[in-house]
Structure 1
């Protein structure tokens, strides 16, 4: 999280309704709004780490004690019934060394939002590159075998799923709805184009810290 007071309470309410024991950890990047107090009111563990999203998630994972971890952005909420799908995945023995992600949806009725969703679906099916706003479900054992989340400010999700590998990634039969605010603000054509540029720069070897300035 980073100054996520507008979205966090609703997301915490969503993930707390699982039907099974769940440990909720907020990995914060130095929020100056009410994010810490919202986390405290929800009974979530809270850790603050500077250095960007990768460092935040790596820190959160260090505090996790369960056999499985689900990484979620503060503005991403799995749809109703998600916990049953997640539980089915976790209890399937063959999935111990696989990881899973949600189908991507935006909370916008605009036709442009549907086009973005289709592009994301193509990227996942063809390239095997789900992004962080689709969540990442992974066993703690597999996470450790892979070396954990890289402490980089951006592209940590791409780095992680590339190490997992396309053949070991599973799309869950459930969707997660993500805020469309950055698309409305940045433009439904410009934002995907910027994402693609960032991806290309990363593959070309440009340091994530330099790419982060362009992404913002």
Structure 2
């Protein structure tokens, strides 16, 4: 691993993973990130109060393990506050980066991008999910809006200037993308991240697709994100 004792050595990239009860899958995810760490990236896991062994398993495989109030936006903001990287990459615990993701991000930023995201592929066999992938990537490229599944990255200074993710219980990625679009359109990298199909498989592919379309449409029409989160199956933290 690179020497991290030199406080003046600022890494190019900080990966921030918000997690909750991910002991079953997180070690394998973090193991895949060790090559990035060896190349100088830092990895921060932000735990939202896991009741399983998530923290114990994560600690030896990360640069920082942070506890934060439950809620993906709050956890990602806490991670960003502790990160030293020039660029922040927000990665879901069930999403795998493509090879050389750090080099791809570096090239995009060096070319003038303020932020960006990857294309996405869903790790499941159902044929409808091939259509979902294409629609997600096409819609994102057309609209300039990214979702968390696409591994959003952003220059640290711009993240700070915008105040981070709006602390919503759902759709925080879309709300943040809207803020970022005021500065610049995203770099839409065609390299694919691989995201788990577990939420589609658990509740039924067609049912989940319809639910997500309804939730997204309701959000754009001004529905309360907390009510949408409950419909989606989250139990938003109480303020």
- Who is 2:124 aligned against? 108
| Residues 179-198 of structure 1 aligned to structure 2 (within 5 Å) | 179-198=196-215
CA distance in 1 between counterparts of 2:177 and 2:194 reads 20
1:63-212 superposed matches below 5 A: 63-92=82-111, 94-95=112-113, 98-165=114-181, 167-212=184-229
Contact 1:78/1:175 (CA < 8 Å) preserved in 2? yes
CA distance in 2, matches of 1:128, 1:195: 19
Separation in structure 1 between the aligned mates of residue 86 and residue 135 of structure 2, nearest angstrom? 33
Looking at structure 2, the residues matched to 176 and 111 of structure 1 have their Cα atoms a distance apart, in angstroms, of 18
The alignment partner of 2:33 has SS state of helix
- Partner residue of 1:48 out of 54, 63, 67: 67
Note the residue ranges of structure 1 that are not aligned, 5 or more in a row: none
Conservation of the 8 A alpha-carbon contact between 1:55 and 1:153: no
Is the CA contact 2:45–2:62 (under 8 Å) kept in the aligned structure 1? no
- What RMSD, in angstroms, separates the aligned Cα atoms of the two structures? 1.7
How many residue pairs end up in the alignment?
213
TM-score (normalised: structure 2) = 0.83
Gap regions ≥5 residues in structure 2: 1-18, 234-239
- Give the aligned partner of residue 4 of structure 1: 22
> Deviation at 1:134?
0.8
* SS of alignment partner, residue 172 of structure 1: strand
Alpha-carbon distance in 2 for matches of 1:187, 1:119: 18
Matched position secondary structure for 1:130? coil
